[in-house]
């Protein structure tokens, strides 16, 4: 009922936007509206229309005029088959606000994303539904091409963008649909005596003032979700572009928060030129090593003194395989392109091994960025065999470094932190195994960080249906984990949650993080805070789940291929602020808008 009132209030409010005092409130004019003429101009591809056509070669999506109004996208097979609003008529750095209404025939989330690579979700509807209203403030950055209106990759429904309004200047706070609460406690303040508390951000999200304000309130450490991965910063041997990463790093420095670089050497989301030739065949060991040195010395060197720490090597140990093997050399991810290239042209008689790429990466990183703290990062590290392999590898490589002539800091480890990603599942998580791994990792002499924490509801077999009780269970698991993190906090540098709100998470179907789709704190948020306050209730011990013998690798999908739509020429269109008889309707609409705003506020308060 409350939700219905809320939705009704938003619809009334939205209907009044073109006539309401919002224009005055933003102190900016209405610059664009999706009128029928605009729809026709886009579909006829008339010069000067404000959209980008994101179609694949086989003609997906089909763009058409929705009989009930707006532009419909159908026959899609990728989330980028969407409607993008061009931004070349907006001024760089200036702030704008945008309000969009979507409809679809099936329940889905709707998203506003930026088209600045890598793509970031700027705003997303609170829950899956057949209609959605999004509003946000946005600043246009240099790298941007447009603003994408779409649905998630796992929900490729037909959808219509029914209304769009773009204003100059920021929206008043009450016009923002998804709003972060700022009057709740701060996670980083609550845990300040224990460890840093981080989350992820993409450079594109820095243009959303609501997200930024919330982030600075809740977190004091940031990791780029995708922007600092090799494939996103250095696409071919001759073309690297650190500008998006620079933006995020500069922002972190300006705001006094710690920035963690993720990542240098990884099998996924890497840059193919590093390890393979133009036919996709592995380079030789010598070529790959030279590329690695060039890549790390240039990239980590560029950020030396600015990025606080790096995931130097990510996910080099396999999660599958024989659980009886506890020696890391027998448990390597042999499908990594780095492993393959280092195996190509190897001189085994001289003691060379494919896994030498791991040691090389750390040494190059130490030399390029001597002040940065260096991490080995991986998932499923709570499994006893994987735990032992990683601990053994860290001990052995740190030992090797002690007598390496390039080591100018005796007493300093090469691998200083073991990063535990922490991509768990409510049904499979054994907190006792996590505790055992932390204890084992501390014994190596390294420190520990929890780098990508999320606990979706479900199991390795898949996501489960959301119920209140499973959300409560998730809160208990979060609290149990945080109790362990606090217990070992002397050895733990940082805990980073991988996602700000459930709907923004890469595992969004599992409602995995501390805030829900309406950006409200979940039971898990409060249970985590209780741990900091030392008031966590003693819960009955969690029954241990037997470990599966075969563990599917964590979801690390490759980056969605990005189309490069043909540039659409055309002059900057005139403002769409037509000669509408404002004063004639203003009096009626002020009244309507005031009623709508009151309904909205009442509904919000009673939520």
Q: Which spans of this chain sit near ligand XIL (rule: CB under 6 A)?
A: 225-226, 314, 421, 452, 506, 554, 556-557
Q: Is 381 a catalytic residue?
A: no
Is residue 32 a contact partner of residue 574, using CB atoms and an 8 Å limit?
A: no
| Min CB(80)–ligand XIL separation in Å | 13
Annotated catalytic residue 452: yes
**Considering beta carbons, is residue 165 or 505 the nearer one to ligand XIL?**
505
3-state secondary structure of 255: coil
Give whichever of 160 and 421 is closer to ligand XIL, judged by the CB atom: 421
Catalytic residue among 308, 378, 516, 518: 378
Helix/strand/coil for 196: strand
User: Cβ closer to ligand XIL: 421 or 527?
Assistant: 421
Write phi, then psi, for 452 (nearest 5 degrees).
-150, 50
Give least dist CB 442 to ligand XIL, A.
Answer: 22
For the purposes of burial, counting CB atoms within 10 Å of the CB of 34, is it exposed (0-12), middle (13-18) or buried (19 or more)? buried
Specify the residue, 319 or 421, whose C-beta has the smaller distance to ligand XIL.
421
Residue nearest to ligand XIL (CB): 506
Distance of CA 178 to the CA centre of its chain: 17
Shortest distance, CB of residue 534 to ligand XIL, whole angstroms? 32
CB of 556 to ligand XIL, least distance (A): 5
Nearer to ligand XIL, 430 or 556 (CB): 556
168 catalytic? Reply is: no
**Nearest distance, CB of residue 209 and ligand XIL, angstroms:** 23
- Name the token pair of 79: 């989330």
* Catalytic site residue from 170, 205, 382, 452: 452
Q: Which two tokens stand for residue 104?
A: 């679809």
Angstrom distance (rounded) from CA 43 to CA 51: 10
What minimum distance in Å lies between the beta carbon of 555 and ligand XIL?
7
CA pair distance 264, 365, nearest whole angstrom = 9
Q: Which class for 49: exposed (0-12), middle (13-18), buried (19 or more C-beta within 10 A)?
A: buried
CB atoms within 10 A of CB 404: 13
Closer of 270 and 527 to ligand XIL (Cβ): 270
Active-site choice (158, 202, 308, 315): 315
Question: Rounded to a whole number, what is the distance in angstroms from the first to the last CA of the chain?
Answer: 10
Closest C-alpha among 420, 295, 415 to residue 363: 415
Give the closest residue to 282 by CA, choosing from 229, 332, 346, 228: 346
CA 107 – CA 130 distance, rounded (Å):
5
CB of 228 to ligand XIL, least distance (A): 10
Question: Minimum distance between the CB of residue 224 and ligand XIL, rounded to whole angstroms?
Answer: 9
CA 264 to chain centre: 17
- Phi-psi label, residue 570: left if phi above 0, alpha if psi -120 to 50, beta otherwise: left
**Distance separating alpha carbons of residues 63 and 72, to the nearest angstrom:** 6
Compute the 3-state secondary structure of the chain and give helix, strand, coil in percent, each to the nearest 5: 35, 20, 45
What is residue 180's three-state secondary structure? coil
Cβ 288 to ligand XIL, closest distance in Å?
21
3-state secondary structure 544-578: CCCCCCCCCCCCCCCCCCCCCCCCCCCCCCCCCCC
Alpha-carbon dihedral sign for residues 562, 565, 571, 576: negative
Nearer to ligand XIL, 20 or 223 (CB): 223
Cβ distance to ligand XIL smaller for residue 200 or 596: 200
- Of 275 and 527, which has the nearer Cβ to ligand XIL? 275
Catalytic residue set = 315, 378, 452
């Amino acid at each position: 009922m409350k939700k219905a009132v809320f939705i009704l209030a938003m619809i009334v409010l939205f209907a009044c936007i073109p006539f309401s005092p919002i224009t005055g409130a933003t102190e900016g004019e209405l610059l664009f509206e999706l009128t029928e003429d605009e729809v026709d101009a886009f579909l006829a591809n008339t010069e000067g229309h404000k959209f980008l056509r994101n179609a694949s070669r086989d003609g997906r999506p089909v763009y058409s005029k929705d009989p009930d109004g707006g532009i419909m996208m159908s026959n899609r097979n990728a989330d980028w088959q969407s409607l993008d609003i061009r931004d070349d008529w907006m001024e760089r750095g200036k702030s704008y606000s945008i309000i969009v209404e979507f409809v679809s025939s099936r329940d889905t989330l709707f998203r506003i994303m930026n088209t600045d690579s890598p793509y970031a979700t700027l705003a997303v509807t609170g829950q899956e539904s057949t209609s959605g209203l999004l509003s946000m403030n946005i600043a246009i950055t240099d790298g941007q091409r447009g603003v994408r209106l779409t649905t998630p990759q796992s929900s490729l429904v037909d959808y219509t963008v029914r209304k769009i309004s773009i204003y100059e200047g920021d929206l008043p706070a009450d016009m923002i649909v998804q709003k972060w609460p700022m009057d709740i406690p701060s996670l980083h303040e609550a845990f300040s005596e224990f460890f840093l508390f981080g989350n992820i951000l993409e450079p594109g999200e820095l243009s959303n003032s609501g997200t930024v304000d919330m982030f600075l309130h809740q977190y004091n450490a940031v990791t780029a979700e995708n922007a600092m991965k090799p494939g996103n910063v250095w696409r071919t041997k001759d073309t690297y572009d650190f500008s998006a990463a620079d933006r995020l790093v500069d922002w972190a420095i300006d705001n006094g928060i710690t920035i963690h670089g993720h990542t240098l050497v990884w099998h996924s989301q890497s840059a193919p030129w590093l390890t393979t030739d133009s036919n996709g065949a592995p380079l030789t060991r010598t070529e790959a090593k030279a590329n690695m040195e060039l890549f790390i010395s240039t990239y980590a060197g560029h950020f030396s003194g600015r990025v606080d720490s790096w995931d130097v090597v990510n996910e080099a140990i396999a999660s599958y395989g024989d659980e009886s093997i506890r020696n890391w050399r027998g448990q390597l991810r042999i499908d990594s392109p780095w492993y393959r290239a280092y195996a190509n042209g190897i001189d085994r008689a001289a003691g060379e091994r494919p896994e030498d790429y791991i040691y090389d990466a750390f040494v190059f990183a130490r030399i390029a960025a001597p002040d940065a703290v260096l991490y080995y990062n991986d998932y499923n590290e709570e499994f006893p065999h994987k735990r032992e392999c990683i601990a053994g590898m860290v001990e052995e490589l740190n030992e090797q470094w002690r007598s390496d002539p390039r080591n100018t800091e005796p007493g300093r480890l090469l691998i200083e932190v073991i990063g535990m990603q922490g991509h768990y599942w409510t049904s499979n998580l054994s907190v006792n195994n996590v505790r055992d791994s932390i204890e084992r990792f501390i014994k190596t002499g390294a420190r520990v960080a929890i780098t990508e924490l999320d606990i979706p509801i479900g199991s390795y077999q898949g996501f489960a249906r959301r119920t209140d009780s499973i959300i409560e269970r998730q809160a208990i698991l979060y609290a149990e984990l945080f109790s362990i993190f606090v217990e070992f906090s002397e050895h733990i540098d940082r805990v980073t949650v991988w996602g700000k709100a459930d709907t923004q998470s890469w595992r969004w179907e599992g409602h995995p993080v501390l805030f829900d789709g309406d950006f409200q704190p979940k039971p898990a948020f409060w249970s985590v805070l209780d741990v900091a306050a030392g008031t966590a209730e003693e819960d009955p011990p969690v029954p241990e789940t037997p470990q599966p013998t075969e563990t599917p690798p964590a979801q690390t999908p490759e980056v969605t291929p990005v189309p490069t739509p043909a540039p659409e020429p055309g002059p900057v269109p005139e403002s769409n602020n037509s000669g509408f008889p404002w004063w004639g309707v203003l009096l009626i609409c002020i009244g309507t808008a005031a009623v709508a705003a009151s309904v909205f506020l009442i509904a919000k308060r009673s939520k």
